[in-house]
Copies of this chain bind each other. A is one copy, B any other.
Amino acid sequence: MTGLTPAWGPASAEGWLDSYLSAAAVLDTLRTYDGPAYDAVVLAGFGEHGPEGVRELVDVPVVDITEAAAHLACLLGRRYGVVTTLDRSCGQIEDSLETAGVARNCAAVVGTGLGVLDLAGDPGRPEAAFLTAAERARDAGAEVLVLGCAGMTGLQRAVGEKLGLPVVDGVAAAVKLAESLVTLDLTTSRAGSHQQPLPKERRWGRRPAR
């Protein structure tokens, strides 16, 4: 597994501007990638834009951590909840779940009030904030929880035990789903929505096209 971070874009994605900038940077990264071949792409921005564009671009399966977490969560209980970073991101996540087709069983998306970069500090702080937000999701009917940010990866065991609920990490979920699609020899449909990008001039930032 190779991790790629775009050479440009925002330091972290919190809100729509960051998300669109990040989507373009991710697409540029994959478009110009010339490393070893790969079997699948996992997109690790929770609730962020981009997956449909990546599906147009590459011929291998593409799995986003948002949808991956939601798909597995649906298998573990009747309703799931997402606990994420800032409140401002909740609406964007709800929209992502809706267009991915998995919002129906989502009971709530709840913010912890912590920014993405706050997650890197003292591990106790995210855990406490997660537990508080998780109670709100539970009161709204969630029987399963989803870590609503790739930066929360690693929390699932500790908070799951304290809450007595299954907690899904989207990154791990997406890797497993990507492996599953590869094994089953399945990849994105080219019929209808996700056709390859049409050949045309495109400039990726203020530099000459290529």
Contact = CB atoms under 8 A, between A and B. Distances in A.
A82 interface: no
A56 interface: yes
A16 B205 CA distance: 17
Given A166-B186, A173-B184, A189-B143, A198 B75 contact: no
A175 B179 CA distance: 12
Interface residues of A, number: 93
Interface of A: 7-12, 14-21, 23-25, 27-28, 49-50, 52-57, 61-63, 67, 71-72, 74-79, 87-88, 90-92, 95, 98-105, 115, 117, 138, 141, 143-144, 164-166, 168-169, 172-173, 176-177, 179-181, 183-184, 186-195, 197-198, 200-207
Given A74-B102, A176-B183, 14 more contacts: A10-B202, A14-B198, A15-B195, A21-B53, A24-B24, A52-B92, A63-B75, A72-B180, A77-B194, A88-B195, A164-B191, A166-B187, A204-B205, A205-B205
